[in-house]
Amino acid sequence: MLPIIDALVPTFIAFGFPIVAMIIGYLRFSKSEQKEVRETFLTLKTLFSIGFVGIGLFLISIGDALTLNSVKIIGLLFLLPGTVFTAGMIGKRNKIKGMITLVLIAGVIYLWGVPL
């Protein structure tokens, strides 16, 4: 039981602190700013890029901590479309940055996400 908790603590620290900081920052906004943030983050563009990448990385890290390859594969299924969509969005503005983003995230997927 303790090795599982020891494996999950870094994951919850790595994902917990930024989430709590974002929630605290969001609560400090005025009502109009909160509405603007909700409208921005609930667009399909944001959900398919940041949302899929975030969910994918979280599931991969949980699967890695619990040594569950099935959870890692589900995380990869979220991470791959998010990566392609993000690289496509960046590539519309700057082709080189889009390719660099795709290569870097593909490296992360290969090194961190491939079940061994």
Which of 41, 58, 48, 54 is CA-nearest to residue 88? 48
pLDDT of residue 32: 93
Instruction: Residue count of the chain, please give it.
Output: 116
Cβ atoms of residues 46 and 40 within 8 Å: yes
What average pLDDT does this structure show over 12-22? 89
Domain ranges of the chain: 2-113
- Statement: residue 114 has pLDDT above 70: no
Report the percent of the chain where pLDDT is more than 90.
Answer: 18
Half-sphere exposure of 6 (CA within 13 A, CB side): 3
The model's pLDDT over 65-91, given as tens digits with 9 standing for 90+, comes to 888 888 888 988 898 888 888 888 888
Report the percent of the chain where pLDDT is more than 70.
Answer: 94
pLDDT of residue 24: 94
The model's pLDDT over 33-54, given as tens digits with 9 standing for 90+, comes to 999 988 988 888 888 888 898 8
Q: What is the pTM of this model?
A: 0.75
Alpha-carbon distance of 70 to 57, in angstroms, equals 14
pLDDT of residue 25: 92
Question: DSSP secondary-structure letter at 102?
Answer: H
